[in-house]
A = this chain, B = another copy of it.
Amino acid sequence: MTDDALDARLRRLEDESAIQRLLLSYGPAADAGLASFAAEAWLEDGEYDWDDNAEPHQGRAAVEAMLQSDLHHSLIGAGVAHFGGPLLVEIDGDRATALNYSLIMRREDKRFYLWRVSAVRWDVERSGSSWRVRRRTNRVLDGSGAGRALFGSSLQELFGGGPA
């Protein structure tokens, strides 16, 4: 085995680990009210397309502004978890795509309830020695079919007719 082949195999695993760490930091940062920290996961001109019935947040500063909004702080104040599920990561050189579920849980009457359950697609890019988010797309898995379409088109684009 050459050093180059070895390095490439190690690097793929390290990239996968780095991407997972990046994307898993969003939920805890959002729930902690660390708006700047959470937004830092995005490229400066990255995008957060959070719902098909609304305008995307364009740019890192817009993501940060959303997390500083009264709405977001009212969620935190009442009790909320922006939970992200395990990530299915597919790397292609300096770009990668990851799929997971986002569950937003809100506190009510000494319990929590599932408010939004979404299909999520993350398009990320290598940026220097790190990875950053080019676009995050969320679609609720409700009767509209939007979540279904996002998962379906992404799986087919990344893997064709079946898992690797």
Contacts and interface: CB of A to CB of B under 8 A. Distances in A.
A54 B81 CA distance: 22
Contacts of A71: none
Contacts of A162: 36-37, 40-41
Interface string A8-44: 0110011011101110110111011110110011000
A94 interface: no
Interface of A: 1, 3, 6-7, 9-10, 13-14, 16-18, 20-22, 24-25, 27-29, 31-34, 36-37, 40-41, 76-81, 83-90, 99, 101, 103, 105, 107, 111-115, 117, 119, 130, 140-143, 147-149, 151-152, 154-156, 159, 161-164
